[in-house]
Structure 1
Amino acid sequence: MAARNTAFLLVGLLALFRTWGVTADVEVNMEDRVEVFRGETASITCMFTSSEGVGGIMIQWFYVTKTGEKQKIFYQDPTGTVVDEGTPFTDRISVNGTGATGEIVMTISDVQLEDELEFICLIKGLTEGTGEGRTKLKVFVTPDFPTIESVQTGFSLNEGPSKIGTCEVKNGFPRPNITWYRNKAPLRVAQDVVKVVLSTTVESSGLFSVTSELIMKVMKEDKDDLFYCEINYFVPGGLRMTETPNINITVYYPSTAVRVWVESPKGHIKEGDSVELQCRGDGNKPSSIFTISHKGVEYATNVLVLDNVTRRNSGDYECTSMDMDTYEDISGNTTVFVHYLDPAVVTAEDPVVMAQGEMTATCNALSSLDTQIVWMKDGEVVSTGNSLILKDATFDSAGEYLCVVTALEIEGMETSATLDVEVQGQPEIMKPDYTEMEESFGSTVDLNCNARGFPTPSVTWTTSDGKTLSSTSHRKTRGHVHSQVSIKVTSDITAFCNASNDFGTDAVTFNIAAKGNGVIIAVIIICILLLAILGSVLYFLYKKGKICGRSGKQDLTKDNSGKDNIVVEMKGDNTEEAVLLGVNGEKQPPSHQGGAYLDVQK
């Protein structure tokens, strides 16, 4: 009831003011634009002042349709507020403030693209005074990351403007902008040189997708250029930028010069190497054909591999590049030199078989490089230079000499040859460590003899009593003989090793003393003496009758209870009898005598 009375009172006051002819001044202030991302909440503020004060005013909110019509969405006066039904904002707006403070804020939740409209705040005073403010709501959507695609084919210089690539950015709002860059500098459109074709698509969502094609006349200088696109798009409060990755293009241009070179090996080339030659022009047209030629032989390639080269591969190599579009050709050349080192050749001034004295030999190898020559024997360097001079040659000078020829400028370039030297002379027997020795009686001794000489000597074994011994081992090598005999020691022995050839003889004497033979003889003599003494004793006893009776029978008169009453009679096959005394006079059976029998008589 109070509110209704208040409303009537206000209406009455308005009528009174109109009657008095008083008009109120109302001033409204609003931002030109409010910016927000799609899906967020927008806040639109309406500030106003009135000469009548801020009480008892009427507030209305409108939006301007796409066709330019005003559509009310909210009404407020001192009696209450009304949100208009059936508008796009019915369920999404709210208004804060009663006008008592001079500020009204309308919020729109979940802003969409179609909300990008102009909104009007209308303030009406108690009299006819009215004020109006307008704000445009701007909605933004960040676009997807842009893409760039280059044309995969190459470009020839004699072609007109060609499509270089395409940039595309999708789903932005408002419409994004695309700018082409070459080497970080923006490309400017120029007639018959640079052209940019733009196309814009409005998606069903209302977002914008933009495509930009770059068409350009390509020059040789563009072969190393990098192209990319810059995308500019608006956001609340400013402008943002992003860039695509770089692309480059293939520009085909004819060669103006050709170069041919040895790719491998680096440095000197020697016989036996594999050589790779490469040819390249300063152009890159795929229609160019390369040919490498040498001494009239042509190879249709720009990479030539020569295996196991020889000095015949030396010379000039020419590479020719022909443009199949114009049939023009250009060429370049290089020189290849294959170094060589022939097998070493040894020439001896004197025969290889030489008498003791002096010998000279030479060694040479034909080479394209300076060489070093050394002579080696048994792994040791014995001379340098191509000449080998042997002075006062002896048997030690004989053997195999190796001549090594090396080209120092190229690692591993080496050749060699051998020279066999034989020194003539009478045999020499290397003196053994022991020629005087004592060995046990009955033992076996091995004697060794090593002789050298040329011609290779013959070796024989003899003893001091003129016997010839057979060797158990006999080995011959060049100019050397090793011989061995085995001797059983039964007495003192003197053995001779004899070596001989056409130039003379040599010998070595071995003396072997037999240990222990005098002691054995003494033992034998003592044994014989002892046997003689024993025989004499037995004979004496026999003569005394202590052992056997000299007659065939002998009566014994002594008691058979004593040892002296025993008589032994022995009888053999030759009718001789013998008596054997048994113990206590007992008769022994014949079996105890081995072919004789016992007859015991008491």
Structure 2
Amino acid sequence: MESPAPAAARARRPLPSPSLLVLRVGWLLAALCLRPGLGLHTVNTVYGDTIVLPCHLEIPDDLMFGKWKYEIANKPSEFIAFRSATKKNVQYDDVPEYKDRINLSENYTLSINNARISDEKKFVCMLVTEENVFEQPTIVKVFKQPSQPEIVSRAEFLETEQLKMLGQCVAKDGYPKGSLIWFKNGVVLQPVDGTVAIYEQTNLDKASGLYTLVSSLEYKPTKEDTDAQFTCTVTYFGPTGQETIRSEPVVFDIHYPTERVKIEVVSQRNTIKEGDNITLKCSGNGNPPPQEFLFYIPGEPEPIRSSSLYVLIDVRRNASGEYRCSLTDESLMDSIIITVHYLDLSLIPSGEVIKQIGEALPVSCTISSSRNATISWLKDNARLRSIPSFSSLQYQDAGNYICETTLQEVEGLKKRQILTLIVQGKPQIKMSKRTSTDGLYKTVACHVEGFPKPAVQWTSTGGVINKTEETKYINGKFTSKIKIAPEENVTLTCIAENQLERTVNSLNVSAISIPESDELEEKTDDNRENASDQAKLIIGIVVGLLLAALVAGVAYWVCMKKSKEANGEPEKEAAQNIQNLPRSASKHVDKDLGNIEENKKLEENNHKSEA
């Protein structure tokens, strides 16, 4: 920017001629008036930006200089910039408002930095020749977007049936002046007598020229305004036209009186059983909700004042009934029916029961409950199909019996009792023997029955026998066995004893017949099967001979008898015939007689033990 020439330099310039002075006076007079017919331009700019004002005039060839001025109504024009066309120098007038803010380009475009509201004027571009003055006015419009509107001075809460100040909507520092509008849930709020009142206020900052808009809203809410969103908007004009900015929504706490109370049971289960805790909750639908209530408990003569929660500990079946709650003034009340479910089970007998075998034992399992329930039985954790009945106890009846019942509709309501049945009996013994297929040994068994389990001991004519085998003890029964190969007849005794009694039984066992032939003794294990076949063959032949001799003997005896009867000596001849039988046949008869006696003795002993 070029500064004006010093005063001394101006003093040394030659005085212009009288004709030139007249021309310049004409120029000045023309500059004071807007020439008609030249048109009017408008420049819109944003507050704080740079204002660019083109001259909009065609630059004449004989241009001497160009100047810019601004005009304000009822005030003289003010020149602010000058550029010479011949000397190419620029001068800026001493106008404080535009000091260091303006710039005039070679094409006479005027730029004003940091646009202000005070720049909203009519600016005129002047191009001067020796013969004429050309002017072009431009209107400058400045726009400033206001801040986003904000709802301030908000009420802590609103009360139904009361007209109260809700808050103020504020939009700051805008230009030109805009307008504020209130909304509820997106719907415009209009003033309504006694319900909606709106008061508007405009504040102007004289230094900046900016407007601050304030709109106060008084509102009488209803219960339906709970969670309603209140907003406000500011509408203003910008360089491109009308614009709108909306505030953030605000929700107000609406206070309204309680119109209904409710009592309920706070529980994770749908049902209540004996032993549970009951938490009662009483609530009101007002806002703020009531904090104290009166609880009416069955069996209590007076209502109990409490907060919204009341707890009953370890309830019994007599706690069933109607529960009520009300406001402290008893104006509103609610009630609920509560059923405390129960389940009783009685098993007779129960626990450990000791009975003797053959005795009768009546068993009963009964229930008492708040709803229908069924009974089921288990024995040693296996489910029974029918109710156990004991008319004559046996050892297999012993065990753990469980009677249980469940209320299906009530979670966790299940009862059970246990009967541990013990069936006792004195030891009972039966003995048996069996010869092995190869005839080399005999197995003698002692069949024992009794509870508690009897201890078994074996003895023989030769002493105590320790090497025995036992089967599993099942249902009060087991078997003790021994294997022997006696070389002579022996008597075996089985002794069974428990806490109740000691029982003894004996059995005679004949000797094992062992072949005396040297050939049989020298047979190896590989030839045993062949020797067995040969022995069977020999035994068959001997038996056949014995049978043949017996038949011959019988036939001979019959003939001799008839002869003796005729001669009178039958008995003597019969005796002689028996003596004349082969020796092998005589041994066979003796052996058969011995086995018959032995078995007869065994049966007698078995009958004694059973008795």
Measure, in 2, the Cα distance between the counterparts of 1:321 and 1:360. 59
Over 3 Å counting, the alpha-carbon distance change for 1:478 and 1:418 in structure 2 is farther
Q: 2:267 aligns with which of 249, 264, 267?
A: 264
Q: AA paired with 2:248?
A: P
Measure, in 1, the Cα distance between the counterparts of 2:428 and 2:169. 102
Measure, in 1, the Cα distance between the counterparts of 2:430 and 2:233. 100
- What's the CA shift for 1:158? 3.9
- What's the CA shift for 1:426? 4.4
1:28-177 → structure 2 map (5 Å cutoff): 28-31=38-41, 33-48=42-57, 56=63, 59-65=66-72, 68-75=75-82, 83-87=91-95, 88-89=97-98, 91-96=100-105, 105-122=109-126, 132-149=135-152, 151=154, 153-159=156-162, 161-175=163-177, 177=179
Q: 1:315 aligns with which of 308, 318, 321?
A: 321
Structure that is richer in strand per residue: 1
- State the identity as a percent: 25
Measure, in 1, the Cα distance between the counterparts of 2:179 and 2:208. 19
Question: In the comparison of the two structures, how many residue pairs are matched?
Answer: 474
- What's the CA shift for 1:510? 13
SS at match of 2:224: helix
Measure, in 2, the Cα distance between the counterparts of 1:478 and 1:320. 70
1:363 aligns with 2:372: no
2:497 aligned partner: 499
Q: AA paired with 2:245?
A: T
**Contact 1:370–1:408 (8 Å) recurs in 2:** no
1:333 aligns with 2:335: yes
2:600 aligned partner: none
- What's the CA shift for 1:360? 4.6
**Contact 1:371–1:405 (8 Å) recurs in 2:** yes
User: What's the TM-score, normalizing by structure 1?
Assistant: 0.63
Q: AA paired with 1:427?
A: P
Deviations 1:508-558 (A, max 9, x none): 9999x9xxxxxxxxxxxxxxxxxxxxxxxxxxxxxxxxxxxxxxxxxxxxx
1:451-600 → structure 2 map (5 Å cutoff): 453=450, 456=452, 459=455, 461=457, 463-465=459-461, 496-499=494-497, 505=503
**Contact 2:399–2:420 (8 Å) recurs in 1:** yes
Deviations 1:242-291 (A, max 9, x none): 32222211122122222222231342222222332222222224566422
Q: AA paired with 2:255?
A: Y
Measure, in 2, the Cα distance between the counterparts of 1:89 and 1:279. 75
Q: AA paired with 1:261?
A: E
- What's the CA shift for 1:227? 1.0
Measure, in 2, the Cα distance between the counterparts of 1:77 and 1:430. 152
- What's the CA shift for 1:421? 3.1
1:430-445 → structure 2 map (5 Å cutoff): none
SS at match of 2:180: strand
2:285 aligned partner: 282
Measure, in 2, the Cα distance between the counterparts of 1:168 and 1:95. 40
- What's the CA shift for 1:47? 3.1
- What's the CA shift for 1:395? 0.6
Deviations 1:10-64 (A, max 9, x none): 959979x99xxxxxx8742232x322223322122343589xx885587542213
SS at match of 2:363: strand
Q: AA paired with 1:89?
A: Y
- What's the CA shift for 1:184? 0.8
Measure, in 2, the Cα distance between the counterparts of 1:13 and 1:167. 62
Measure, in 2, the Cα distance between the counterparts of 1:435 and 1:258. 95
1:214 aligns with 2:217: yes
Q: Which runs of 5+ in 1 are unaligned?
A: 19-24, 99-103, 437-447, 471-476, 485-490, 514-602
Q: AA paired with 1:315?
A: G
SS at match of 1:114: helix
1:396 aligned partner: 396
Q: AA paired with 1:310?
A: R
2:3 aligned partner: none
2:406 aligned partner: 406
1:303 aligned partner: 309
Measure, in 2, the Cα distance between the counterparts of 1:287 and 1:372. 47
SS at match of 2:389: strand
Q: AA paired with 1:83?
A: Q
**Contact 2:55–2:136 (8 Å) recurs in 1:** yes
**Contact 1:252–1:286 (8 Å) recurs in 2:** no
Measure, in 2, the Cα distance between the counterparts of 1:285 and 1:255. 9
1:231 aligns with 2:234: yes
Over 3 Å counting, the alpha-carbon distance change for 1:178 and 1:287 in structure 2 is same
1:419 aligns with 2:422: no
**Contact 1:95–1:105 (8 Å) recurs in 2:** yes
Measure, in 1, the Cα distance between the counterparts of 2:356 and 2:172. 102
Over 3 Å counting, the alpha-carbon distance change for 1:501 and 1:264 in structure 2 is closer
Over 3 Å counting, the alpha-carbon distance change for 1:10 and 1:189 in structure 2 is farther
Q: AA paired with 1:344?
A: S
SS at match of 1:342: strand
- What's the CA shift for 1:225? 1.0
SS at match of 2:226: helix
Structure that is richer in helix per residue: 2
Measure, in 2, the Cα distance between the counterparts of 1:299 and 1:403. 46
1:292 aligned partner: 295
Measure, in 2, the Cα distance between the counterparts of 1:45 and 1:464. 146
1:245 aligned partner: 248
Measure, in 1, the Cα distance between the counterparts of 2:507 and 2:409. 59
SS at match of 1:69: coil
- What's the CA shift for 1:341? 0.7
1:589 aligned partner: none
Measure, in 2, the Cα distance between the counterparts of 1:162 and 1:240. 31
- What's the CA shift for 1:316? 0.9
Measure, in 1, the Cα distance between the counterparts of 2:306 and 2:344. 33
Question: RMSD of the TM alignment (CA)?
Answer: 5.3
- What's the CA shift for 1:300? 1.9
Measure, in 2, the Cα distance between the counterparts of 1:273 and 1:38. 75
SS at match of 2:343: coil
SS at match of 2:234: strand
**Contact 2:279–2:310 (8 Å) recurs in 1:** yes
Measure, in 2, the Cα distance between the counterparts of 1:218 and 1:399. 77
SS at match of 1:329: coil
- What's the CA shift for 1:217? 1.6
Q: Which runs of 5+ in 2 are unaligned?
A: 1-12, 28-34, 437-444, 467-472, 481-486, 512-611
Q: AA paired with 1:270?
A: K
**Of 89-98 and 237-246, the range deviating more from structure 2:** 89-98
Measure, in 2, the Cα distance between the counterparts of 1:265 and 1:123. 93
Over 3 Å counting, the alpha-carbon distance change for 1:356 and 1:212 in structure 2 is same
**Contact 1:27–1:131 (8 Å) recurs in 2:** no
- What's the CA shift for 1:328? 6.6
